[in-house]
Amino acid sequence: MILYTDGITEAQNEAGEFFGEQRLLHVAQENLSGPAQILEDAVLAAVNRFSSAGAHCDDETMVIIKRQ
């Protein structure tokens, strides 16, 4: 389970596009097999790559819960 603030999905790139839920879902699906920390790192890295040109206007907060 990933709980997140809108700062994750509403991060924007140079064209003004949002990172969005689809990109978040894609990154999550690619990193489900590892520990929660790997998933968190992958999401934050993807958001940072996506919005590399601009400063983030909002907080980026996540809580990741994985069942062992």
Does the pLDDT of residue 40 top 70, yes or no? Answer: yes
- Give the number of other Cβ atoms within 10 Å of residue 1's Cβ: 8
Does the pLDDT of residue 8 top 60, yes or no? Answer: yes
Burial degree of 51 (CB within 10 A; 0-12, 13-18, 19+): buried
Distance CA 68, CA 60 (A): 25
Domain count, the chain: 1
Question: What backbone phi and psi angles, to 5 degrees, belong to 18?
Answer: -85, 150
Residue with tokens 């601009």: 54
- pTM as predicted: 0.87
Domain that holds residue 10: 2-64
